[in-house]
Structure 1
Amino acid sequence: MTDALTGNSRAITTNQNGIHDDLEKVVVKHLATPFRKPIAPFSEQTFAELTATVEAFLAANPSGQLILDSCCGVGESTIHLAAQNPNALVIGIDKSEHRVEKIEHHMKHKVSNFVILRGDLNDLWRLIAQANWPISKHYLLYPNPWPKAKHLQRRWHGAPVFSYIPKLGQNITLRSNWPIYVREFAEALKLAGFEPQVSDYQSDEAMTPFERKYWASGQNSTQLTCNFV
């Protein structure tokens, strides 16, 4: 839990001692059951606008690649990724209009090869997967951990949309300050037939405001990577 006013981050408080007892049951069910929730009209419109941007980029850059930055918050990580990958289009998506509108605070990198938008990933992930765009990398940095045991199915690996994550790109990088979240995500990917790698993560430069706060508060980051091709 983060105190936005002081920047101090308290450690995750949870009633779980390890991987959730129901994780396998929930993940197997979602892998075997189509996610039939209707796509919202707002998401259809957002995806249509994003499609126009992506198609224009690929037309101008036939060998260009896409990078997806899910739960991008204020977009600091999106801009970092754009600076690190000048030949790619980086797509940052977050559900919070308030956070997306704060992008102007992180424009120290003079880059233009990115787009940041507000959207529901439960919808957009499905639409993006169906579009089969050439996404080389997918980043999921510090998603809401939903640390109460009763909220397992609010975590991405416990949600019905989880089965679409491997269809989004060639690989994924996930980070969290709650190791259990990463371990659960890894187990979910194993149930889906993949071989994720989990390790401690350190860097000289933080990519997100949350990452910066966690490290300043003495918390560590755990990282998962997984190839899907």
Structure 2
Amino acid sequence: MDACSRNVESNQTGLHERLDEVVQRHLAHRFRKPYQEHSLAAFKQLEQQVERAGKPLIFDSCCGVGASTARLAELHPEALVIGMDKSEHRLSRHHAHTPSEGENYLLLRVNLNDLWRLAEEAGWTLSHHYLLYPNPWPKSVHLQRRWHGSAVFPSLLALGGQLQMRSNWPLYLQEFARALELAGHSSSLQQINPERPITPFEEKYQASGQPLWRLDSDLSSLS
């Protein structure tokens, strides 16, 4: 494993000055962008798989190569874990990281801006939702590319469940915590040093000596 991973570099030194404005606007106005056809087809197939499984649902969003999805399936044998990423290339490398495939998880190439909204409209409620090392988009100009600055943020909240996020850039999680607060949800943020890395990114960041951070929030309740 290459231990030469650079720290996140950003022109921000604190919470984005427009964070509250952007989050509150998205909370007040529903995201109405038309769905992509491949997203609708993927969700229709996923609905059938979820119905057949008849288990609690866990989302592993931005799962990359899906190593985290396999690990979460081990930790939650009672559930169906759905790993999702927009990159077919990353998902195609899954078996290089996880030789044996479990029975209680699946991987899906999908646009999460569509999938989360479709799941919300279908009335799905998650038991857990993991966002492990998503792209933090550290440039200030890219606030609305971060999940908490995105128009789809309310759908993420509506899916409920125990939310866990991890990052090597604490400001990303501090902003997310503020966005949760604006939406009426409490959260906790702590530095972590996992004994067993849950993603290849986490392993790489640990090997580089970078501090790692974790945010937790119960989206099933309001503060």
TM-score by length of 1: 0.93
Aligned to 1:105: 96
Aligned to 2:118: 127
Distance 2:98 2:205 in 1: 22
Matched, 1:37 2:33: yes
Unpaired segments ≥5 residues, structure 2: none
Q: Identity of paired residues, percent?
A: 49
C-alpha RMSD over aligned residues: 1.3
- Conserved in 2, the CA contact under 8 Å of 1:81 and 1:90? yes
Distance 2:125 2:143 in 1: 31
The CA deviation string for residues 60-101 of structure 1, in whole angstroms up to 9 with x for no partner, is xxxx21111000000000000111111111000000000011
Deviation at 1:223, TM superposition (A): 0.8
Matched, 1:15 2:6: no
Flag the 1:126–1:192 CA change in 2: closer, same or farther, 3 A. Answer: same
- Conserved in 2, the CA contact under 8 Å of 1:157 and 1:188? yes
Instruction: Specify the SS of the correspondent of 1:86.
Output: coil
Aligned to 2:59: 68
Flag the 1:209–1:126 CA change in 2: closer, same or farther, 3 A. Answer: same
Aligned to 1:140: 131
TM-score by length of 2: 0.95
Instruction: Specify the SS of the correspondent of 1:210.
Output: helix
Distance 1:110 1:189 in 2: 34
Distance 1:174 1:86 in 2: 20
Instruction: Specify the SS of the correspondent of 1:48.
Output: helix
Deviation at 1:110, TM superposition (A): 5.3
* Paired AA for residue 176 in structure 2: F
- Conserved in 1, the CA contact under 8 Å of 2:137 and 2:145? yes
Find the partner of 1:205 among 190, 196, 199.
Answer: 196
Distance 1:155 1:53 in 2: 29
Instruction: Specify the SS of the correspondent of 1:140.
Output: strand
- Conserved in 2, the CA contact under 8 Å of 1:79 and 1:106? no
Instruction: Specify the SS of the correspondent of 1:160.
Output: coil
- Conserved in 1, the CA contact under 8 Å of 2:19 and 2:175? yes
* Paired AA for residue 35 in structure 2: I
- Conserved in 2, the CA contact under 8 Å of 1:80 and 1:109? no
Structure 1 segments of 4 or more deviating over 4 A?
none
* Paired AA for residue 21 in structure 2: K
The CA deviation string for residues 137-160 of structure 1, in whole angstroms up to 9 with x for no partner, is 000000101000000010000010
* Paired AA for residue 201 in structure 1: I
Distance 1:176 1:149 in 2: 17
* Paired AA for residue 143 in structure 2: L
Instruction: Specify the SS of the correspondent of 1:15.
Output: coil
- Conserved in 2, the CA contact under 8 Å of 1:95 and 1:118? yes
Matched, 1:164 2:155: yes
Distance 2:73 2:188 in 1: 24
Distance 1:122 1:207 in 2: 24
Flag the 1:216–1:7 CA change in 2: closer, same or farther, 3 A. Answer: closer
- Conserved in 2, the CA contact under 8 Å of 1:83 and 1:109? no
Deviation at 1:133, TM superposition (A): 2.3
